[in-house]
Structures are given as C-alpha cells and as structure tokens.
Amino acid sequence: MKRIIICFSFLLLVFVLKAQTHEHEICGYQHEVEKLLKKQPNFLTWQNALFEQAMLEYNDMQGAKRKIIPDTQYYQIPVVFHVLYNNSNENINESYIQSQLNELNLAFRKLTADTLRIRAIFKPIAADVRIQFVLATKDPNGNPTNGITRTQTFKTTFATSIYGEYNDDMKWTNNGGKDAWNPARYLNIWTCNMRYPNQVSMTLGFATPPTGAPNWWGNVTKDSTDVESGVVLHYSIVGRNNPLAIANNVEAKTGIHEVGHYLGLRHIWGDGQGNNGCNVDDGIFDTPNAKDKNYSCSKSNPPNTCIDATNDLPDQTENYMDYALDGCAAMFTKQQAFLMRYVLNNFRTGLPYREITFDTTYDQTKIEMFPNPATEKKDVKLQISTLEKATFHVLVIDMNGKQVLSFDVMSNEVASIDISGFARSVYYVIISDADKKIVDRKPLVIFQ
Ligand SMILES: [Zn+2]
C-alpha cells in the first residue's frame, strides 16, 4: 500500500511539475481529430485520400502549365465571432476582433510585413492564398449584424483538464456557450477562456478539420455534430498586440494557424512524433519533411530534423502550420494554398464565398498604384494606362466592404488617394469602366 502511495505521489508530482513548467498547448487540433475518430473511424483514411486527390490535381495543373491559382479568383468567407465572457476582460473589445481579421487577411494575401522573415529558399513557394475574411453583415435570419455576438456565461473556463480532451461547450448555448450560426454559411469563431482549471497554462486555440465531402458517404457516417465546425481561440490572444496577451503571443498567429486547420491543413510535421516522426508527412509536398513541431526559428542554427535523400531542406519554421508562430510564422506554401482552395470547392462549398471575375477587355490595361504597401501617411498615386483615353470609376472599400472613398479618373492621368484617415489594414481599390464592368480589384495595404 505504501508503495502505491509513493508511486501515486510521484505521479502527482510529475503531473504538477509538468503543469507548472510546460508551455501552453498551442493548438488542440489533435484532440479534435481524436474526437472525430470516435465518431468517424475512417476519417484519416478519407483525409489522406483528400490530400492525394488535391495533390494529383495540383500536379495536373502544373503539367498543363496552367496558373495554379487563377488571378481572377478571390474567395470571401463571412465570419462571425462569438465572444463568451465570464468577466469583463473576456468580453474582448471589437478592435481586437478587427485586428485579428486584418492579420488573417494580410496573411492569406501574403501581404504582411512579416514575409520579410521568409528565407530565400522558401520565397518562391510562399503563396498568396487569395482568400479573404469579412465580418458577416447579415445574421442567419437575414437581419443586419456587425458579425459579433456577445454572451455572458456562468463558466469560468471552457477547458476541462490539462492537455487532455476538452468538450465543445462553448459551441452550445445550453452548456454556457453560444450555438453556431449555420456553419455551412459562416465561419464561426468562438473566443473564450481556455485556461486549465486552477492552472496558469491553457490551450491557445483549436479548429475542426473539414469532414463530410459528398463522396465520403459510402463508408463514413455523416458528421452529426457539424454545428461544432469552426475555430476556438483563447480570448487574450485575439488580435495583434492585444494588451492582455500572454508572452510571445502578440502577433495573432494562432488565429491564422487555426483557420488553416479549418480549411483542411495539417501540421507541417504531419503529427508523427518520436523516432517515427520523419516517416509521417502532412500530405503536402512543398513543406519539407519535419520530425516534430518546432517552437522557435533560430536564424543562426535553423532546425533540420529530417534529412531527405534528395532535395533536403531545413524545417519550414516560417510556415503558419508549425508551432513557432508569433515571431516566426509568415507563409503558407503554394500547395497549402491549393489545398485550402480545394477544400472550399469540395467540402465547405456552402460558404457563400464570392468568386470575383474581371472583364478581360482590359487585359492590356496597366494599373499602377504606389507606394503599396503604404508605410507613411502620404498620398498613394494611382494611374491607369490605356491605349485609348477613357474615364474610370475608382471605389475604395475596407475589409468589411464599406465604401471609404470614390472618385473618377481619366486614363493616363495620375490620381491621388488621400490615406490620412486610413487605419493599418487592407483596403481594396475597385476600378470599373463607364459600363460599370469591373476592370480590376487591387489590395491597398496600409502599414501605418
Ligand atoms: Zn494546429
């Protein structure tokens, strides 16, 4: 009996030490997969099939020398943030949500200044994913909304145990959370307290992988908990430079990482661990093989945890799907971009993304906008060069589609865009002709 008590005490000590010394759990994706496997034992088989199919299509497109991601297609995903709070800190300010959305949009358009971190070997494969996120303007009943719900909860935390599984109470009104808005039409992001009970550490975020493509039904039960689809973020890491943020989590990168999972991506090390790590891949060929997660991105001694026989590359610690997030992450690869767009086209097809196509009449038209990104509050110049003189209408909108400026400009003349009232964000400059046909839509990035 005594021995049992000693063993138990020892275990308890190890457990407490681990809880005290270990970092936060950056991402709870694996727990989500484990939960999913209980309901859909064939999930991983189908997920692997998804990656194989997507990569085959990617190679076909490359073989045919077609553009991997046609320039004319952008996808827009409406987002709703469900803010759950037990105290006023958790009732996060709208500015953090706007900031998180900014950072998501900068990341998915490869426009963030953090791209300077990308090493030369990976620069050619860093992708503009051409997916953007906007706060929903209509709720599921068609009523106007700012895309944010706020719910006071009796729950002091939504985490149930340390590093273990947790439930999805935040997604259910009856359990102290907030029911999802139709997940087929919105990306639901819940923000709440994910601190482990009576601990200082927490899970920073997690996301549900896409399930239930139409061709899965042969062997896989339809996921009845589809309403749990979405992303969950610990409240204090939402947005850039959130003053409540825990150390080293000020760049809003966890939110980007989790949306990557939501759109189908796996961790770049493939979630294999230990000696087997180099034999488990993430199903994406342009992310170098890695043995395990990296928590940092040393410039002087960059990790290379798997030596490949051909084309050996170091671990891609710049990737949003590694664990070296804030301070390191700055890119998705071209194949990751393809996979996420493939998921939108094949799985999350109900999201009312909008494909924007441009009039090809103006293919020869040259549109210049400078400086862009704008790093100072000086006017941005815009010039539309055409063979024949024509009048164009210019509309500047913010990320939520709200008009901030509109004017007409003659071709071959230089127009000035006064950005003194613009915030640090991505804006869109939409140029249309006299027949109101869209000629082009260019992002204008304001860094100041
Ligand atoms: Zn993750």
The 10s digit of each residue's pLDDT in 172-200 is: 999 999 999 988 889 999 999 999 888 88
What is the Å distance from ligand 1's center to 30 Cα? Answer: 8
pLDDT at residue 436 greater than cutoff 90: no
Question: Chain centroid to CA 184: how far?
Answer: 17
pLDDT tens digits, 128-145: 998 999 999 889 888 999
What is the Å distance from ligand 1's center to 178 Cα? Answer: 23
Give me the DSSP letters along 346-410: HTSTTS--------GGGTT-EEEEESSSB-SSSPEEEEEE-SS--EEEEEEE-TTS-EEEEEEEE
What is the Å distance from ligand 1's center to 115 Cα? Answer: 20
Q: For residues 315 and 122, what is the distance between their CA atoms, to the nearest angstrom? A: 10
| Domain range list for the chain | 20-346, 361-446
pLDDT at residue 346 in the model = 74
Confidence class of residue 363 from pLDDT cuts 50, 70 and 90?
low
Q: CATH assignment of 361-446, given 2.60.40.3950, 3.50.50.60, 2.60.40.1930, 2.40.40.20?
A: 2.60.40.1930
Task: Assess contact for 44 and 218: CB atoms under 8 A.
Answer: no
Q: Which of 23, 258, 318, 413 is catalytic?
A: 258
pLDDT at residue 218 greater than cutoff 60: no
HSE-CB of 31 using CA atoms within 13 angstroms: 19
Residues 18-24 have a mean pLDDT of 51
258 is catalytic: yes
Q: Lowest mean pLDDT: which of 28-32, 55-59, 85-89, 327-331?
A: 55-59
Which among 22-26, 95-99, 437-441 has the top mean pLDDT? 95-99
What is the Å distance from ligand 1's center to 336 Cα? Answer: 14
pLDDT at residue 62 greater than cutoff 90: no
pLDDT tens digits, 33-45: 888 888 778 788 8
Confidence class of residue 257 from pLDDT cuts 50, 70 and 90?
very high
Q: For residues 394 and 408, what is the distance between their CA atoms, to the nearest angstrom? A: 6
Query: pTM higher than 0.95, yes or no?
Result: no
CATH number of 20-346: 3.40.390.10
Q: Which are the contacts of 22, defined by CB distance < 8 A and separation ≥ 6?
A: 163, 201
